[in-house]
Chain A
């Protein structure tokens, strides 16, 4: 009774929020918890097949959404917290959105992205049968302190699901070490062989979690991902799900175990891992392979994940980059494109970004000094920190400008002689930049 009442009230609340054009991602969830703290247990009962949890620091949203797309393509009803609302309320709202006014839910699978800090709390109510862990990169340091803290959170959460199969990124020593304490069944996905020479110098996590010695690498794919081993006996586990023949520009193409050639429209090496994670789960679920490949082909990235705009006939790409690894990957994507370009970097220090921006000095921005990059524009609340970072990496100061008025900057860049524009932004800066870009694009159309 309490369940039906709660869903009914929350559905109406969401409806009202929509009428008021307000975001309905967390407030209805808070209300639901207040009305019925065990609401997630009820949702679990109403999930016909399985609950799949996606955790890790980077790539959660892409992985989770793509997994839901694939399952939907195969004809299943899927609950998914699509917009990256990954705290406890986000999962509740995802279910409520799928329910009708009378609490009836059509749900075969639930794909739930979980914030590392909230996963333990969510798993007190529901028990996923599969848990995907994408990777463990430094993320939002001032929220959780240190990567060791994040590892502690994930271990607590996973210990609540002893029967779940873990889908682990074999190339990430931190994720593998994190999961090594569990006896759960594990499926390892990864990239067996060397793909490209890597210039990244970030050494985050390149130390053995067991003995603190420096890991030995045969090769790196990026950041700490690669083929590693340690004197203490810690090695990359055998890969069950592998990708080879990988190319990353202009789209991602690769050959994957039991799937053959696949194409994914969003480029970037990091997406190879997101796709691998999804395919390893789909394979285990015996999902129709052709339908899954079709879902990959048709995937539309969320806002700011290599999002493409046309600005007065010129290509503009918007890329989210919220931590050193994400930024290094974004910089690599900029350099995958051989055209001449102007680059805008926007950095905020709001709550969603992490108030500490000192990590900017851990990004290998040195790789942004290229002949093809003709000018640099810094924006966001920390534009001056970013400009300073560029200056000390060796960019001539007359190539750097403060884009305090982003609209004016973009308008002027749309008329520059260079072939395309890249905008790199961290979390809240991305949404601000996106609004301005959309406005400028529309201005050009009229």
Chain B
């Protein structure tokens, strides 16, 4: 089996160690003898035809605006990609970029969500409960965003157990739509969340290989230790 991961504008959207997510996806696939090719994608080599996992991160305001402007030419491609159930991970500014802004700036408007910016940044460690009624799992991370996102009718990615989430009142964070995972939990989201990392890999493999059933488990003791430390730390606070 093999998987192609495309990372959008990694040189621009590299604010909080997004390369950690790529490293995790790549390593976890390779340990299971799944070949991985990672492409750094910009407007010069934009193509979603053979993409299995698409990653859109966050960056500095100035650089994020630059990327947003360049991506406008491809918004229909990205929309089709998502509607076709292909796997995408959009983080932080990359999540907000998919909708519209309440300011004069124009977003990609691929999703019907809107972001309003407030002076006070929502910042800190965060724990959310994700998954379905039958299969719940916690995701830990760090959020740092001025945007408050109204996700309207979309399903949230998780319920906030500790932290702020999409806004500081409703208690939900991010959104899931088909196989798109969008969240404020920035940068290296996957290292401490091996369950989520494997879910993303599994979905990509299921899309591509009818015969695929499940991933074999890995030794996640370091991952669990780091994950549990955040949960414990927040319980103490």
Contact = CB atoms under 8 A, between A and B. Distances in A.
A355 interface: yes
B73 interface: no
B223 interface: yes
Contacts of A402: 225
Interface string B75-103: 00000000000000000000000000000
B144 A356 contact: yes
B177 interface: no
A384 B16 contact: no
Interface in A44-71: none
Interface in A131-156: 141-142, 145-148
B17 A355 contact: no
A101 interface: no
Contacts of A382: 229
A147 B63 CA distance: 12
Interface string A198-212: 000001101101001
B20 A203 contact: no
A246 interface: no
A142 B16 contact: no
Interface in B151-166: none
Contact of B60 (A147, A356, A360): A147
Contacts of A249: none
Nearest to A205: B60
Interface in B18-66: 18-20, 23-24, 27, 60-63, 65-66
A203 B59 CA distance: 12
Interface stretch (B120-128, B167-175, B200-208): B120-128
Contacts, number: 93
Contacts of B15: 146
A355 B19 CA distance: 20
Given A358-B142, A362-B14, A392 B23 contact: yes
A391 interface: yes
A214 B61 CA distance: 15
A99 B34 CA distance: 70
A389 B222 CA distance: 10
B148 interface: no
A314 to B, nearest CB: 28
A357 B230 CA distance: 12
Contact of A361 (B11, B20, B62): B20
A4 interface: no
Instruction: Give the size category of B's interface with A.
Output: 35 or more
Interface string A356-388: 111111100000000000000000011011011
B226 A388 contact: yes
A389 B124 CA distance: 20
A391 B146 CA distance: 32
A361 B124 contact: no
Contact of B222 (A360, A361, A388): A388
Given A148-B61, A393-B23, A387 B125 contact: no
A145 B121 contact: yes
Interface residues of A, number: 34
Contacts of A142: 123, 144
A207 B63 contact: yes
A297 interface: no
Contact of A212 (B66, B192, B225): B66
B188 interface: yes
A264 to B, nearest CB: 32
A361 B60 contact: no
A437 to B, nearest CB: 24
Contacts of A438: none
B27 A362 contact: no
A387 B226 contact: yes
A393 B20 CA distance: 9
B123 A361 contact: no
B107 interface: no
B27 A392 contact: yes
A359 B222 CA distance: 18
A385 B222 CA distance: 8
B147 interface: no
A251 interface: no
Closest 4 CB pairs of A and B: A361-B17, A361-B20, A384-B226, A358-B187
24 contacts: A142-B144, A145-B121, A146-B15, A148-B60, A148-B62, A207-B63, A212-B62, A355-B124, A355-B142, A358-B188, A359-B16, A360-B188, A361-B16, A361-B19, A362-B17, A362-B19, A384-B222, A387-B222, A388-B222, A392-B27, A392-B191, A397-B222, A400-B222, A402-B225
Interface of B: 11-12, 14-20, 23-24, 27, 60-63, 65-66, 121, 123-125, 142, 144, 146, 186-188, 191-192, 219, 222-223, 225-226, 229, 233
Interface of A: 141-142, 145-148, 203-204, 206-207, 209, 212, 214, 355-362, 381-382, 384-385, 387-389, 391-393, 397, 400, 402
